[in-house]
Homo-oligomer: A and B are copies of this chain.
Amino acid sequence: MTGIAMPSPDPLILARRDQIVAALRELVPGEGVISSIDERRAFETDALTAYRRMPLAVVLPSTTEQVAKVLAYLNREGVPIVPRGAGTSLAGGALPQEDAVVVGVSKMAKVLDVDLPNRTIRVQTGITNLGVSGAIAHEGFFYAPDPSSQLACTVAGNIAMNSGGAHCLKYGVTTNNLMGVTFVTMTGEIVEIGGDAMDPGGLDLLGIICGSEGQFGMVTEATLRILPMAEGARPILFGFRSSEAAGAAVAAVLGAGIVPVAIEFMDKLAIDICEDFAHAGYPRDVGAMLIVEVEGAPHEIDEQLARIGEIATEHGATYSRQAKTPAEAAAIWKGRKSAFGAMGRISDYICMDGTIPTGRLPEVLHRITEICDAAGLQVANIFHAGDGNLHPLVLYDMNDPVSLAKAEEAGDEILRACVEVGGCLTGEHGVGIEKRELMTVQFTHPELAQMMRVKEAFDPNWLMNPSKVFPLGLRQQMRQAAA
């Protein structure tokens, strides 16, 4: 039982389950259709684990043509579809619904082409994020967006959510690194969108598909921009007495015109939990910590770190340590990237994902503490500070429905606070189900109506991941107005 409603399943679709499964087996022969309760269970949730729904069936096609046949069939039959990458969504973007077929890309994970002179790689979208960089590392190249879940999450999911990561401060998010896609429409047409060039002509459908949370159709192949690795990179740790002081230092570094590759923030609770888990060598006696990474030639790194160090000192840094070896640097990042997993060992939590102007960091951090204190909840702050992308982890107890309700309420209040200072509801996790009803806090009715009309230009029947992103009530209003 949770605070976020899902629509009741359509009994007419539930009644046709056997027939739908049989038809899907025709379209995707072999072992591509999953029908038994036991096997379906692996797909009933994503990383917003408080929510579970058993899907009608699961299909894992092996080719774009199979995806096209499946979408055309389900669209014709009026059966909802929930697309799925690796199911690492933190906002419920991949949560099934009981009358929906999950269509997953996990069997389509090949590298199709590497073009170093043009700095692109062509992949099937079931490949993991880290798999992309892995395929080109020996050539000295990498794929920039690096969500913490990069070992598991797929390019398909990254595109759906326009994912970022620690290093997007310098390199941008998925949309800044995506050149083209093979896209399957709801009627089963296979279209090529974008290409190898900056402005491929026509409307920028690529940009609007990126971040559409799987509500438009399915992306089965993608051309990604790859970058040459920097000559070197080095992280430095700074400790501060308070979160506010660390936040002020971030704003000052950016205000001085320095662009590090990453600036990551962890408060006391986050430091302790990560250090217990990963033994990264984080300082224990500070109120908050920053990981700042810069890259370039050794002397450029030295110069940048010296300037950053001066600013940190001016803002009261009480601790500072540069990574001296690659192993030390790797340990620092391992600690940060394992944060959500480390937290999961000691408590249930909901991970919020809001973004604010970096200049407002100190006051928003203060406000988050106030909100959680008032609710009697613990909060760990760990986030991409450089681009103002907050990830407060609000702790609760899954066996206590009251504590989940309180955590969700506090999370809502935190996101409202982000919007109030000129920020927004999501940084990189998407809206999913988690922030669906909050969309009205950030957007006016005409703004949401315009978005919904664009959604309908791709999916007029609202079958593609239909219970996500847009407030359910607003959709009904729009339908009634149109009828």
- A-side residues, CB < 8 A to B, are 115-119, 140, 162, 164, 168, 172-173, 175-176, 185, 189, 191-193, 195-205, 207-208, 210-212, 228, 251, 254-255, 257, 300, 355-359, 387-389, 422-428, 431, 435, 439, 442-444, 446-448, 450-451, 453-458, 469
Contacts and interface: CB of A to CB of B under 8 A. Distances in A.
A52 B349 CA distance: 64
A422 B196 contact: yes
A354 B455 CA distance: 30
Given A204-B162, A255-B117, A198 B427 contact: yes
Given A162-B204, A191-B447, A202-B448, 11 more contacts: A173-B199, A175-B207, A189-B446, A191-B446, A195-B422, A200-B424, A201-B426, A201-B435, A205-B450, A300-B300, A454-B458
B257 A201 contact: no
A198 B164 contact: yes
B176 A176 contact: yes
B389 A442 contact: no
Contacts of A119: 254
A197 B254 contact: no
A176 to B, nearest CB: 7
Contact of A424 (B201, B431, B450, B455): B201
A203 B451 CA distance: 6
A181 B356 CA distance: 17
SS of A interface (majority): loop
Contact of A446 (B185, B198, B251): B185
B444 A191 contact: yes
A198 B427 CA distance: 7
A207 to B, nearest CB: 3
Given A116-B255, A185-B446, A359-B117, A198 B431 contact: no
A465 B257 CA distance: 40
Nearest to A300: B300
A203 B455 contact: yes
A203 B208 contact: yes
A298 to B, nearest CB: 13
A119 to B, nearest CB: 8
Contacts of A428: 199
Most buried by B among A162, A199, A255, A448: A199
A141 to B, nearest CB: 8
Given A204-B210, A207-B175, A356 B197 contact: yes
Nearest to A447: B191
B198 A168 contact: yes
B199 A117 contact: no
A202 B454 contact: no
Nearest to A229: B257
B358 A140 contact: no
A199 B426 contact: yes
B355 A199 contact: yes
Nearest to A443: B202
